[in-house]
Amino acid sequence: MTRMKTRLPAALGLLFVVVVSLSCTSGHAVAASCEPSVAVAVSVQGDVRVKHGKTEPWIEVRHKDAFCRGDILRVMEWSRVDLRLMNETTLRLDQNTEIVFSAPEKENDSWLDVLLGGAYFISRTPRRSSVEPPSSTRGSRGLSFSFVWKATRPS
**Predicted pLDDT of residue 129:** 57
**Predicted pLDDT of residue 6:** 61
**Size (the chain), residues:** 155
**Predicted pLDDT of residue 93:** 94
State pLDDT tens for residues 87-145.
Answer: 788 999 999 999 998 866 666 555 777 788 888 888 776 656 565 555 544 444 444 44
pLDDT band at 8 (very low <50, low <70, confident <90, very high): low
State pLDDT tens for residues 40-76.
Answer: 999 999 999 999 988 889 999 999 999 999 999 999 9
**Predicted pLDDT of residue 112:** 77
**Predicted pLDDT of residue 155:** 52
Average pLDDT rounded to a whole number, residues 21-31: 45
Per-residue H/E/C for 68-114: CCCCEEEECCCCEEEEEECCCCEEEECCCEEEEECCCCCCCCCEEEE
Domains and CATH numbers, the chain: 28-149 (2.60.120)
**Predicted pLDDT of residue 136:** 46
- DSSP class of residue 7 equals H
- DSSP class of residue 33 equals S
* CA atoms within 13 Å, Cβ hemisphere of 32: 24
**Predicted pLDDT of residue 124:** 75
